Amino acid sequence: MTPNALNRRSMLTGGSLLGLGTLLTACAPHDTTPTGGAATASGAATTNSSSSSSAGNNAGSGEYRKADAKGPAQNVPKPNAPENGYRAKTPDGILKTMDAWNQWINYGVQTGDYSKAREFLSTSNDGELKIYREIEALYRRGGWVIDGIEHFKPAGIPRTDDHQTYYLETNHEWEKHTEVEPDGRQETWSSDKEEEIYTFALEHRDGRWQILYSQIDV
């Protein structure tokens, strides 16, 4: 099995947007949800201009506030520590690793901080790392993401042919992902499917599970 690119995750890097020009339409953003776990999708990119200021969306002390057109999410709760046994070289260790990673990517998309999500990746996972860099850069220049929450739910048990690389099928659920630039311009990806299948490849290295890559099943 090798990585395959036309999917939502590759589209977030900008590499597949040129072929979607005829699909561009105006689309309003929706609210997001707090970090959520469970174990991308092809979707149409849309663009929209907005004059909203990021000075809005103020939350009270410690109050979680979803991202909207006025500003990024605020006071996003950090996920709990991974479940005991997530480093174990067992199928259960894979499931716990995936759950922890899923929670941290949802934290990252709301805050622009993927430092913890990176800890679950192999350094060779260029596709996923590029996504993190793109979104982190968006936040650094004053932008943010509305929605973008993803859930990868195991669709079975991890399998392997050589007891080195393990594969886990997951049901991928998401609705929208809207990137807001500092000047108010927006670009939205939305899914036309309720559910998609993603397969993750993992190996146990240096005492922990590392995600090598993911691939959408078509």
Q: Is residue 67 predicted with pLDDT exceeding 90? A: yes
Confidence (pLDDT) at 194: 66
Confidence (pLDDT) at 152: 95
CA separation for the pair 195, 174 (Å, rounded): 8
One CATH from 3.10.450, 3.40.50, 1.10.10, 2.60.40 for 8-16+32-54+85-216:
3.10.450
Whether the pTM exceeds 0.75: the reply is yes
Mean of pLDDT values over 62-82? 96
Q: Which residue has the higher pLDDT, 132 or 40?
A: 132
CA separation for the pair 67, 165 (Å, rounded): 38
Confidence (pLDDT) at 196: 83
